[in-house]
Each structure stands twice: as structure tokens, then as C-alpha cells.
């Protein structure tokens, strides 16, 4: 006669709200005229956008420029999850920088940096090789 205790498996659901500390934004700058921009000027642009829309409290927001490509004028910004809406709205409302009309396009937003490495809109499947096509 077996006297082993029966262990019942229990199901537990745990939900974390706003668990991620940072959010990452992939942004792209568009100018009417061809303009060369470096990383420092890009950071100044972000600070100016926050200052215009949200004032001194907006400039106090901790925002980092992780990566910036001068040729394509695209960069990756990192911000605390509590400041995401402020930063996103400030970048969207920016219309000029140093007298040049410009626009900031928010391409991707994700709490994971790895997900910014690619997306289905820009990814193209590789062409199948001849051996693969025969098989």
C-alpha cells in the first residue's frame, strides 16, 4: 500500500507592470536641406525638444544617446520608462533646429535593445541558392 503524498501542481500567474527600467527608441532625423549632424548636436537637439515642450523639468529627464549614425542621421535613445511619453511627445513636436526645418521620425520603440536590431519592414529574406532551389 503506497503511502506517498500526492503533490498537486498549482498554477500561479505573476504580472509585472512596467517591469523594464529603460525604453529604447530608434529615431531618424529629416531635414529639408542636406545637413550634417554629429552625436553632440543630436543630443543638443533632444535637449532642445524637451526644453521647448516640457521646460526645465523635461531637461532634467535622463536620456542617453546610445548610438548615432551621421550619414543616415539615425540614432538610438535610451530613457527611463517614466519619461518615455515626455521624450516621445517632445521629439514629435520638434519642428526646427538652429533655424533649419526638421522632423524627427520615431521608427521603433521597445524595452529591449535587441529588438531594435531589425524589424520585418526593413528585413528582406535572403535569396535561395541554386542548391537549395534544386532541393
Partner 1 sequence: MVRLKNRYVLCAVRGGDSALRALSPTAVYNTVSHALLVQHGMYGQARCLIGMTVSYVNMKTGVVIVRVRKDSLPLLSSALPFVSDVGFPPNRVQCNLHTLHVGEERQRVREAITSTCFPVDLDKDVDADLDMDAD
Contacts with partner 1 by CB under 8 A lie at 50-58, 89
Q: Which is nearer to partner 1, 43 or 51 (CB)?
A: 51
Length of the chain: 135
Q: Which three cell numbers stand for residue 7?
A: 503533490
Tell me whether strands 74-80 and 22-31 are parallel, antiparallel or unpaired.
Answer: antiparallel
CB of 53 to partner 1, least distance (A): 5
Element (H, E) at 7: none
CB of 63 to partner 1, least distance (A): 15
Q: Which is nearer to partner 1, 57 or 70 (CB)?
A: 57
Question: Any residues with CB less than 8 A from the CB of 67 and at least 6 apart, and which?
Answer: 75, 76
CB of 97 to partner 1, least distance (A): 16
Amino acid at each position: 500500500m503506497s503511502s506517498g503524498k500526492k503533490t498537486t501542481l498549482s498554477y500561479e500567474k505573476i504580472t509585472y507592470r512596467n517591469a523594464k527600467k529603460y525604453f529604447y527608441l530608434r529615431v531618424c532625423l529629416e531635414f529639408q536641406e542636406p545637413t550634417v549632424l554629429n552625436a553632440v548636436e543630436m543630443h543638443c537637439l533632444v535637449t532642445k525638444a524637451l526644453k521647448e515642450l516640457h521646460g526645465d523639468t523635461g531637461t532634467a529627464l535622463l536620456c542617453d544617446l546610445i548610438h548615432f549614425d551621421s550619414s543616415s542621421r539615425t540614432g538610438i535613445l535610451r530613457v527611463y520608462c517614466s519619461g518615455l511619453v515626455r521624450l516621445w511627445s517632445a521629439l514629435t513636436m520638434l519642428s526646427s533646429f538652429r533655424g533649419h526645418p526638421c522632423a524627427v521620425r520615431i521608427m521603433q520603440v521597445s524595452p529591449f535593445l535587441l529588438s531594435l536590431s531589425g524589424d520585418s519592414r526593413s528585413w528582406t529574406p535572403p535569396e535561395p541558392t541554386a542548391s537549395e532551389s534544386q532541393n
